[in-house]
Structure 1
Amino acid sequence: MFYINMFFRYIAQYMKTRLQYRADLIVEIFSDLLFQAVNLIFILVVFGHTTLLNGWSREEIIFIYGFFLVPFAIFSTFFNIWDFNERYIVKGEFDRILTRPIHSLFQIILERMELESLFGIVTGIAVMIYAGSELGLDLAWYDPLIFIVLSLGGALVYAGIFISLASIGFWSDARTSIMPMMYNIGNYGRYPVDIYNRAIRFVLTWILPFAFVGVYPAAYFLGRSEWFGYAFLTPVVGVAFFVLSVVLWNAGVKRYRGAGN
């Protein structure tokens, strides 16, 4: 109950702060929409030169992209820790975090959350509705529940990977550029993995499982039965990677000796 109470208190303070600068909030939302539109235009440009991509139609690729936006929006809202190393380790702000009676990772998540990123969920669902109508997809009554579970699983996959990367800062306090590179690699998960060679497919499935954020769970709703096994593994992989990242984080915190050391 303590953590739940703290969560909603942080949200209340965040909303008060953001609503003081409404113009900035609107600009950020518009920028996110523009970025998503550019990615969608890229897909349309690709299919302007071909009708199928290794057996996947344009509408199926668009549906996968729409699904990808949902877990990515959840991740971007609550796990905005791409600059953890520089801000908290190099600049010493992690010392402040450790003086408070709350888990360090939970506190950083609350400090760095960006609730406006949740708007990406609306965009993703809208894209899926459009693509699904073009494909004539039929949904069962339980599919919305499955959608929620798979979306949360995909968000945990992203969170687990990036928390693990942030934890490296406890062992290496130098500035690194691995986060931007990993964000770019994550984009491969919004395309069908069978368009890549076996090595890349293996990496995107078991090493850096970004495929569980987009194509695998989306394949369930597209009726791609050959991928159903991977689709239902999404929450399992998400929880496994997230738990592993928290264990790695806790081990790093125990090693941390302070910015002045």
Structure 2
Amino acid sequence: MYPFRLFTYYFVQYLKTRLEYRSDFFVQLVTDLLFQAVNLIFILVVFSHTSDLAGWSREEVIFIYGYFLVPFAVFAAFFNLWDFNERYIIKGELDRVLTRPVHSLLQVIMETMTPESLTGAVTGVAVMGWSVWQMGLNPVWYDPILFLVFVLGGAAIYGGLYIMLTSISLFSDSKTDIQPIMYNVGNYGRYPVNIYNKVIQGVLTWVMPFAFVGFYPASFLLKDERWLVFALLTPVVGVVWLFLGVTVWNYGIRHYRGAGS
């Protein structure tokens, strides 16, 4: 219960801060929507020149893209670690965090969360709904349950990977540019994995498992059983990568030298 109360406190304080600058808040929302619209337009442009993409119809690809937006939105809202190095290492704020009796990673996550990023989930659900309507799919009763499990698993995969990358800063006070590279690679997970060659498919499945964030669970919800086992492994992969991320973080914290050293 204590972590939940702490999260509520941070959330309320965050809302107070954001609402003091409402124009910036709404500008960010509009910017996010425009970014998602550009990616959707890209898919439509591709399908203006072809009727299918490696056997996937336009509506199916749009459905996969819409699904990907949901776990990514959850990740972006609660694992906003982009400026960790600059804020917590170079400016020394991690020293303040480590003096408090709450797990350091939990504090960082609560201090950097951006709940407005969850609007991407609303957009994703809307895109999925349109695709389902166009394809005439009939969801079964357990689809919403699996959808929630898959989304949490995908967000955990993203979170675990980025926690591991962020942990690199605990061993060095120099800036790193790995996160933007990983962000670009992660975008491959929003499209059907079988449109890529075998090497990229293997990387997106076993090395940087972004295919579990978008494609595999989305293909299951589309009633495509070719990747059934991979889809059902999504929550397992999420738990494994989140555990790895937290483990590397804890190891880095034990070896963190402090801002003054």
Q: Deviations over 1:3-58 (max 9, x none)?
A: 11101111111111112222221111111000000000011111111111111111
Cα distance in 1 for partners of 2:173, 2:201 equals 32
User: TM-score, normalization: structure 2?
Assistant: 0.98
Structure 2 CA distance, aligned partners of 1:112 and 1:53?
Answer: 38
State the SS of the aligned residue for 1:53: coil
Instruction: Compute the displacement of 1:191 (Å).
Output: 0.7
Opposite residue 242 of structure 1, the aligned amino acid is L
In the TM superposition, residue 91 of structure 1 has moved relative to its aligned partner by: 2.2
> What is the rounded CA distance, in whole Å, between the counterparts of 1:90 and 1:230 in structure 2?
40
**2:174, 2:17 → 1: CA distance?**
32
Tell me, what secondary structure is at the counterpart of 2:233?
helix
Rounded to whole Å, the distance in 1 between the matches of 2:205 and 2:168 is 22
Structure 1 distance, partners of 2:28, 2:120, is 12
Which residue of the partner structure matches residue 12 of structure 1? 12
Letter in 2 for 1:67: Y
SS in 1 for 2:17: helix
CA distance in 1, matches of 2:91, 2:188: 32
* Aligned CA-pair RMSD: 0.8
Return the letter of the residue paired with 1:219.
Answer: S
Q: Distance in 2 between matches of 1:20 and 1:176?
A: 32
Any unmatched runs of 5+ in structure 2?
none
Deviation at 1:134, TM superposition (A): 0.9
Matched with 2:38 is 38
Range with bigger deviation, 164-173 or 69-78? 164-173
Q: What amino acid sits opposite 2:56 in the alignment?
A: W
Q: Which residue of 2 aligns with 1:86?
A: 86
Q: Does 1:253 align with 2:253?
A: yes
Question: When the two structures are superposed, what TM-score results if normalisation uses the length of structure 1?
Answer: 0.98
User: Residues 180-216 of structure 1, C-alpha deviation per residue, up to 9 Å, x if partnerless?
Assistant: 1111000000011111111111110011000011000
Q: Residue in 1 aligned with 2:193? A: 193
Cα distance between partner residues in 2 of 1:163 and 1:83: 12
Write the mapping of 1:21-32 to structure 2, written as runs, cut at 5 A. Answer: 21-32=21-32
In the alignment, structure 1 residue 161 sits paired with structure 2 residue 129: no
Q: Distance in 2 between matches of 1:116 and 1:231?
A: 28
1:108-127 correspondence to structure 2 within 5 Å: 108-127=108-127
Question: Aligned partners of 1:101, 1:47: CA distance in 2, in Å?
Answer: 54
Matched, 1:243 2:243: yes
CA shift at 1:88, angstroms? Answer: 1.2
Moved more, 86-95 or 239-248: 86-95
Following the alignment from structure 2 to structure 1, what is the Cα–Cα distance between the partners of residues 170 and 125? Answer: 38
Give the superposition deviation at 1:173: 2.0
CA deviations on 1:49-96 (whole Å, 9 max, x unpaired) are 111111111111100000000000000000000121222112221111
Partners of 1:154 and 1:205 in 2: CA distance: 12
* 2:155 is the counterpart of 1:171: no
Correspondence for 2:182: 182
Q: In 2, distance between residues paired with 1:68 and 1:252? A: 30
Q: Partner residue of 1:141?
A: 141
Q: In 1, Cα distance between the equivalents of 2:211 and 2:68? A: 10
Secondary structure of the 2:100 match is coil
Structure 2 letter corresponding to 1:136: G
Mapped to 2, the partners of 1:198 and 1:170 lie a distance apart of: 35
What is the distance in 1 between the residues matched to 2:140 and 2:238? 24
CA distance in 1, matches of 2:40, 2:78: 24
SS at match of 1:56: coil
Find the counterpart in structure 2 of residue 2 from structure 1: 2
Equivalent AA in structure 1 for residue 31 of structure 2: S
